[in-house]
Amino acid sequence: LGERLGAIFDRLANRGRLNESDVAEVLREVRVALLEADVALPVAKEFVNRIKEKAVGSDVLTSLTPAQSVVKIVYDELVELMGGAAARLTYSDAPPTVYLMVGLQGSGKTTHAGKLALRLKEQGRRTLLVAADVYRPAAIDQLKTLGRQIDLPVFDESQGDPVKIARDGVAEAKRLGIPTVIIDTAGRLQIDDRLMVELEQIKAAVKPIEILFVADAMTGQEAVNVAKTFNERLGITGVILTKMDGDARGGAALSIHRMTGAPIKFVGVGEKVTALEAFYPDRLAQRILGMGDVLTLIEKTQSVYSEQQAEDLAKKLRKSQFTLDDFLDQLRQVRKMGSMNDIMKMIPGLSKALPNVQIDEKDVSKTEAIICSMTRRERERPEILNGSRRKRIALGSGTQVSDVNKLVKQFEASRQMMKQLGGMKKGRFPKFPMP
Ligand code: GDP
Ligand code: MG
């Protein structure tokens, strides 16, 4: 979706002043791009209409930078469409706080019960995981394995009655003084009435403060339809959109809030138990519009970096004093955080500048070696790297001059992007054209 919209706006940018038919044409293309990304038809229609209204009512046609005005409108509407502000989990005044995970089979309920429990644990709240998916013995084992992995207790009564298990689980948490309960439930491949009735009974028995609908983003529109049904029957309070690390086209994220009224609270970005991110509508809107997701990157960094380090980094990004030393530092930190490819996706422009580049750990070591062979001054001011310096560095690091060239180019590109983003952080929209 990002690419499609990016291309549309790029063309717009070259056009200078716009007339009404230009705007109409752009909106038509935006609509097609949304539909191709699996956005539900009524949502896409409404979205385009709102943009049209806003564009007509604003100074788009008379503006000197019409493209920028249109992008700004689209950005604001995207954020609005996805729920505006970031939504948080609700806690109960009368512990334990009970969360019920619901959704189709394979959507990621069990995995995300574990991810959520781990996140709460990191915030100092212990969780009792309750295994109320009794139809597949493997489901209970899966939850137990997760529990061991994150060192949290799992309550199960093997193949008993799920409603009773849920109730007993909550009672057990009360007895043990555990403040949070996450109930993992069964799913079906398709919505069926027995499943819904069972979930309604569990809801009545344990009165969860949140019913979290777990949706597989890869299933696109289907996820949205299923969410609607679950919402009608159970009243969901939030959505966890999973498998956003795959090649999901993102349409579900754009439709699901509008179709259910429930906010997306988290996104799952991998199979690992740490692969969970809070959902920020503004950041996804930025990513869709091709601005990368430096804020998420900085937040990720924060959990590894000290706060002071992260603040310094943000300051450097703003002032574009980002040096190769910082780059190296980041690469090393990043390696602690998980897959390099995921991280690179968040750096604005990088995935566009280097399409189809798969980063493997060997490349990272190479980069490390190259930067380590540079002098202080060279790291701070890579622009002084002339031919003979590059040769020396290649020799010193056991690489080729072409490797050194590639690295410098890559660094310059990301520094350029960060400079544009730096402007945005202070509240301005980045200069058009975007990365
Ligand atoms: P459940 O049937 O709803 O409980 O789904 P599971 O939690 O068992 O997940 C089904 C499959 O999807 C498992 O193989 C998970 O590892 C995988 N999975 C879950 N969440 C994610 C995610 O965010 N990203 C990726 N890539 N895989 C996921
Ligand atoms: Mg499961």
Q: How many helices (H) and strands (E) does the chain have?
A: 20, 8
Residue 401 lies in a domain: yes
Residues having CB within 6 Å of any atom of ligand 1: 103, 105-111, 187, 214, 242-243, 245-246, 268-271, 275
Q: What is the pLDDT of residue 369?
A: 87
Q: What is the pLDDT of residue 425?
A: 40
User: Residues 53-73, buried b or exposed e (16+ Cβ, 10 A)?
Assistant: ebbeeeebeeeebbbbbbbbb
Q: What is the mean pLDDT of residues 123-133?
A: 96
Is 245 marked as a binding-site residue? yes
Q: Which atom, in ligand 1's list, is nearest to the CA of 268?
A: 23
Residue 335 has pLDDT above 70, yes or no: no
Rounded alpha-carbon distances, angstroms, from residue 223 to 52, 107, 213: 28, 9, 10
Whether residues 105 and 240 share a domain: the answer is yes
In angstroms, rounded to a whole number, what is the distance separating the alpha carbons of residues 159 and 229?
Answer: 27
Q: Which of 135, 269, 271, 272 to mutate to test the pocket of ligand 1 (most atoms within 8 A of CB)?
A: 271
Q: What is the pLDDT of residue 153?
A: 97
Whether residues 324 and 374 share a domain: the answer is yes
Residue 16 lies in a domain: yes
Higher local confidence (pLDDT), 205 or 250: 205
Q: Which residue type does 165 have? A: I
Whether residues 152 and 237 share a domain: the answer is yes
Is 69 marked as a binding-site residue? no
Out of 265, 286, 307, a domain closes at 286
Whether residues 107 and 247 share a domain: the answer is yes
Residue 202 has pLDDT above 60, yes or no: yes
Nearest ligand, measured from the Cα of 246? 1
Q: Is the pTM of this model over 0.80?
A: no
Range of the domain at 120: 97-286
pLDDT tens digits, one per residue of 67-86? 666 777 888 888 888 888 88
Ligand 1 centroid – CA 217 distance (Å): 11
Please give the structure tokens belonging to residue 217: 């983003």
Q: What is the DSSP letter of 127?
A: E
Higher local confidence (pLDDT), 96 or 349: 96
Nearest ligand, measured from the Cα of 143? 2
Please give the structure tokens belonging to residue 334: 């990043």
What SS3 state is found at 129?
strand
Ligand 1 centroid – CA 31 distance (Å): 31
pLDDT tens digits, one per residue of 365-423? 788 889 888 988 898 888 899 999 999 999 988 899 999 998 888 788 767 766 655 44
Is 188 marked as a binding-site residue? yes
Q: Scan for tokens 């540079």, then name that residue.
A: 374
Residue 64 lies in a domain: yes
CB burial of residue 388 (10 Å; 0-12, 13-18, 19+): exposed
Whether residues 126 and 186 share a domain: the answer is yes
Whether residues 235 and 279 share a domain: the answer is yes
Please give the structure tokens belonging to residue 253: 């994220």
Question: Atom 9 in ligand 1: which residue has the minimum CA distance?
Answer: 108
Q: 187-196 — which CB contacts under 8 Å span 24+ positions? A: 187/102, 187/103, 187/104, 187/105, 187/106, 187/107, 187/109, 187/133, 188/104, 188/105, 189/104, 189/105, 189/106, 190/104, 191/104, 191/226, 191/229, 191/230, 196/233, 196/234
Whether residues 181 and 276 share a domain: the answer is yes
Residue 41 lies in a domain: yes
Residue 46 lies in a domain: yes
Residue 91 lies in a domain: no
pLDDT above 90: percentage of residues in the chain: 38
Out of 286, 302, 325, a domain closes at 286
Say which CATH number the domain at 348 has: 1.10.260.30
Whether residues 278 and 398 share a domain: the answer is no
Whether residues 190 and 302 share a domain: the answer is no
Ligand 1 centroid – CA 153 distance (Å): 21
* Interface predicted TM-score (ipTM): 0.99
Out of 286, 310, 341, a domain closes at 286
Q: What is the pLDDT of residue 199?
A: 96
Residue 175 lies in a domain: yes
Query: At 337, which helix (H) or strand (E)?
Result: helix 324-337
| Total of domains in the chain | 3
Say which CATH number the domain at 241 has: 3.40.50.300
Q: Which residue type does 411 have? A: F
Say which CATH number the domain at 21 has: 1.20.120.140
Is 244 marked as a binding-site residue? yes
Ligand 1 centroid – CA 242 distance (Å): 8
Say if CB 55 and CB 68 are below 8 A apart: no
| Average pLDDT for the chain | 81
Whether residues 107 and 232 share a domain: the answer is yes
96 preceded by a cis bond (ω within 30 of 0): yes
Residue 115 lies in a domain: yes
Q: What is the pLDDT of residue 409?
A: 86
Whether residues 235 and 123 share a domain: the answer is yes
Q: To 5 degrees, how large is the angle CA 301–CA 304–CA 307?
A: 75
Question: Atom 15 in ligand 1: which residue has the minimum CA distance?
Answer: 271
Is 184 marked as a binding-site residue? yes
Ligand 2 centroid – CA 105 distance (Å): 7
* CA-based radius of gyration for the chain: 24
User: Residue 16: left if φ>0, alpha if ψ -120 to 50, beta else—which one?
Assistant: left
Q: What is the mean pLDDT of residues 131-159?
A: 93
Q: What is the pLDDT of residue 327?
A: 76
Q: Scan for tokens 């490390």, then name that residue.
A: 368
